Amino acid sequence: MAITFYFSPFSSAVRTHWALEELGIPYDGVRMDLKAGDQKKPDFLKLNPNGKVPTLVDDGVPYFESAAINIYLGEKYGVAKGLWPKAGTHAHGRAMSWTVWAAASLLNAGTRVMYNTSPEVPAELKNAAQGEGARKEFEGLLDLLDAELKDKPYLTGDTFTLADALLAADLWWYQMVIVPSLARWPNIQAWTDRCKERPAFKRISTG
């Protein structure tokens, strides 16, 4: 087994970084300087023609898209370690559902909020009404997640999985750029607190 993980801090690569640390499998981390254009270099584009991180190479085979990588890692390495539900179970279906929800529904709304409110986006490209609409949609999605976590400690029940790692990584980032306080969502707050107490998260967030 030979894994190489191409990443950049404070990007969607955090999702996969957390998963790798939870799994405890050996890997070589390659930190990419996105501002310098490392992701556009020919050798990297051979691995990921999208020119983005994260990218993971396992036994010579490259994979891209963080949600897909995390599912792959869960299926291959996580079941035996109790970090990913066995295929064909309801817990597996729920883990898949929340992983894709994070990568599609929540990310879509969050991206539209940031695009229409970020000081880094030129004023002529922003639309205040669209930004406000996206924020309401984003907050409504958090309402759904908060309700889901009302009576259980983790997304699929009593056990932490890589689905929790992926979504909690997203919430960690969203708190920096969209919702500094989770006071409106106490169940999400308690869940993220539990997730961030894990040694794997502490390793990736401090180093």
pLDDT score recorded for residue 138:
98
**What pTM value is reported for the model?**
0.94
Q: Please, which pLDDT band fits residue 102 given cuts at 50, 70 and 90?
A: very high
Rounded-to-integer distance, Cα 130 and Cα 117, Å = 10
For residue 207, pLDDT beyond 60: no
Helix (H, G, I), strand (E, B) or coil at 28: strand
Q: Which residue matches tokens 């996105």? A: 34
Residue 5: CB atoms within 10 A of its CB come to 21
For residue 119, pLDDT beyond 90: no
- The residues near 93 (Cβ < 8 Å, ≥ 6 apart) are none
Q: Which residue matches tokens 């690569």? A: 13
